[in-house]
Structure 1
Amino acid sequence: MRETLCDFPTPVEPGQQYALSSPLRVKVGDEALRDKIFYEFTPLTSAAPADGPGTPLTLVPRGVMPSYGNIDPYFTTYVNSVNHADFAVTGDTVTGRRGSYATLHATVIDRGPAVVEDLLDDDAFLPVLVKLPPGTKATKIPDNCQPPPTDDGSDPGPRMGRSSYQCYFGDPAPGDRHVLSFTVAIGPRTPAVSTGKVRTLEVMKGLDPDASNDSAALTLRLAQGGSAAGASGSVSGGPSAGSGPLADTGFGGGWIAWAAGALLLPGGMALALSRRSRGGN
């Protein structure tokens, strides 16, 4: 939390309205995107804060409060900052043989600088679409991946045995790195070189200006003989995975704002400005 307290040792009259003697200014950080400034007015019951280096603020009378005026002591100002967030993905190439298994790893990196958060419910998700190489079906998938939703909203069916998945990363923040690991069964008709794809889906129109790193290939090459080899370029530390029996084949396939806040406290009143960052820190 970041707060600014302003103490106004000036009596305030019931039914009257007041304004600040000069505009409240806030600095927009590099991670800003969708922000909120909260104001709260309340009698000051503790010691007054020490004076800061800025020009002193005072309360200026603005006449009688209109009958339709807001009597709630809380106010919110929304600030949309011009910013972007670069979500980059990398793929993988593995070697295996028909009738065996292989594991593919896809990496998703949030390069920022903007922090994406939903102003309404604090939940933001970065969706990623994974299409496995043709001729393969999933036997083990990350917990945060599901078959893509159906057009009519019905249950998409079993999670395993699919060739395509949609994965979600909650509260994406600059510097986050996620690894998606998929173990696949290699079918009898898998081509010698079979290529799928991983790509990020649009979180917000115009948010990611660099489309060149939004997708990457997931490639399976058949071995000339012997057992399937391990995945090349594999990365440890990925999300846990679920497993289960193969289902019938089928092709199916958040966001954080920083919140800024401010509290104005009347009577011997104070104003506080706070910014709520990811995770409520």
Structure 2
Amino acid sequence: MATAGAAAGLALTGVAPAHADDQPVITLRQTAPVAVSPATLAGVSTTTSPYLSFTTTASSLSANVTLTVDVTQLSAIADVTFSDNCTVVEHVASCWEMFFYDNLDGVGSIGALTQMTIKAKAGAPAGASADYTVSGTADNAVVVGGTGTVDIGGPAYDQTQPTDLTGVAVGSAVTEPVRFTNRGDRPADGTQALLWASPGIGFARHFANCRYSGEGDPREAALALCDIPGEVLPGEKAALAPAVRLNVESTAYTTYLDSMIAPAGDPGIAQSVAGRAWTQGTGGQLTLKTLTPGTPTDAPAGTVSLSQRGTHGDYRITSIQAANTADFSVTGATATAAAGDDVTLDLAMTNNGPATIFDRSGDTRIATVHLPPGTTPVSASANCHPQGATSYSCSNGDIVSPAGEVSHFSLTVHVDEVIPAAQGSISMNWGPSGRPAYDPDPADDTAPITLN
């Protein structure tokens, strides 16, 4: 199975030989630098594992690949172990991979079976850094490798979970604090904060040291990327100042503030915002307020975050529930056709608002269609699927249902027998949980489908 997604930061070193123009090229994706601490720190993992993945020029692959991972330089400051598909001789691992994939067009990357686990050697100095190299050969492909980097020690921003809010009034503004503790063993020379506001909320202030983006995924109403100067010492607890202020808009129902906080230069945030267009803010400065001072250290500042474990992490999701409603309705159809004819029934589901519905659990809005008697189904639009011989389930197709959205469905049926005023129906299907609180009106949940 091909896996979409990628990491960042690996310098490519391989070059496809000229005689291999007719062979597919398998290229190691840029891999983020990683960091690991030699100390035992609360909430911080004692190991780290770079993620190896590949892209290819081919639409399908059938290749046996041998990856060679050389950790000779890295072995001076860290111990490295490999997955069972590897054989290691004097810090060089030979790892077999079987890349057998079809339909790779549009796939972002192919995950490797090979895994490496890195643990810092006792006494390795904070700030030390070393590289490892990846190369490869294949029976009928060209493999382009690269070089990755491992740092010893680093900052680790452990963000406190902000408070979820319920019953918030539409038209009001709410405040969400973003607080974190540097659980790492190195300071950070600056901080980056990335904030996502989902549909229904918006940022009340636009700071001069933040950039803002409103394009992209419909699950994101706005993003803010803020660069905040100032050293953050190990053990320091800090908060964004002022706290994040959000406007609760007329379309709000269940909304979310996603927040990621990291040392300046950390590759994780760069990955999350690659390719976006930004507009600089103009109002005041977003700063850090020290809540608990940290401990001074001779260790140099780090830019690569240490991996955290358990409930600790730099990413949080905060739910903001507005007191609002969204009335979903369905539209039926009326048609006339003779026996032996095919006829198309055009149906619809509408979110009459005022709220946009964002179901982060992954559920979409569904309508159930029962065909009129005397007919058999011929075809359906892509968003409708059969549920038995004479019924269909039709979905609006996205976990976000904007206020005012109309989802169109069509079903073509063959008229086997003319039955005067043959009656079918389209109805909202709220699933096993029943009618949601946001739609208290059942009057427009069902509409007739009348044939002849």
With structure 2 as the length reference, what TM-score do the two structures score? 0.39
Answer whether contact 2:255 2:358 (CA < 8 A) is retained: no
Question: Secondary structure at the residue paired with 1:3?
Answer: strand
Please state if 1:168 is matched with 2:381: no
Counterparts of 2:376 and 2:291 in 1: how far apart (Å)? 70
Give 1:94 deviation, angstroms: 1.5
Report the counterpart of residue 110 of structure 1 in structure 2: 351
Write the letter of the residue equivalent to 1:147. Answer: P
Counterparts of 1:184 and 1:71 in 2: how far apart (Å)? 55
Give 1:212 deviation, angstroms: 1.9
Answer whether contact 1:33 1:82 (CA < 8 A) is retained: yes
Please state if 1:197 is matched with 2:425: yes
Counterparts of 2:281 and 2:409 in 1: how far apart (Å)? 51
Question: Secondary structure at the residue paired with 1:211?
Answer: coil
Change (3 A) 1:4 1:181: closer
Match of 1:143 among 367, 378, 382: 382
Deviations along 1:17-49, whole A, 9 cap, x unmatched? 22345543211222222222222223345xxx7
Match of 2:371 among 120, 129, 132: 132
Q: Which has the higher contact order (CA 8 A, sep 6+)?
A: 1
Larger Rg: 2
Counterparts of 2:382 and 2:319 in 1: how far apart (Å)? 35
Task: In structure 2, list runs of 5 or more residues that go unmatched.
Answer: 1-212, 214-221, 266-279, 296-308
Question: Secondary structure at the residue paired with 2:263?
Answer: coil
Match of 2:259 among 32, 39, 42: 39
Write the letter of the residue equivalent to 1:186. Answer: V
Deviations along 1:146-202, whole A, 9 cap, x unmatched? 222xxxxxxx6xxxxx321111121232332233222222233x5322111111222
Write the letter of the residue equivalent to 1:77. Answer: T
Give 1:219 deviation, angstroms: 0.6
Task: In structure 1, list runs of 5 or more residues that go unmatched.
Answer: 149-155, 157-161, 222-281
Counterparts of 1:198 and 1:146 in 2: how far apart (Å)? 14
Change (3 A) 1:60 1:145: same
Counterparts of 2:405 and 2:379 in 1: how far apart (Å)? 23
Counterparts of 2:312 and 2:406 in 1: how far apart (Å)? 45
With structure 1 as the length reference, what TM-score do the two structures score? 0.60
Please state if 1:220 is matched with 2:447: no
Report the counterpart of residue 437 of structure 2 in structure 1: 206
Aligned residues: 201
CA RMSD, Structure 1 to Structure 2 (Å) = 3.2
Question: Secondary structure at the residue paired with 1:129?
Answer: strand
Counterparts of 2:342 and 2:311 in 1: how far apart (Å)? 64
Question: Secondary structure at the residue paired with 1:213?
Answer: coil
Question: Secondary structure at the residue paired with 1:139?
Answer: strand
Counterparts of 2:347 and 2:430 in 1: how far apart (Å)? 18
Counterparts of 1:13 and 1:70 in 2: how far apart (Å)? 22
Change (3 A) 1:22 1:53: closer
Question: Secondary structure at the residue paired with 2:443?
Answer: helix
Match of 2:416 among 187, 205, 212: 187
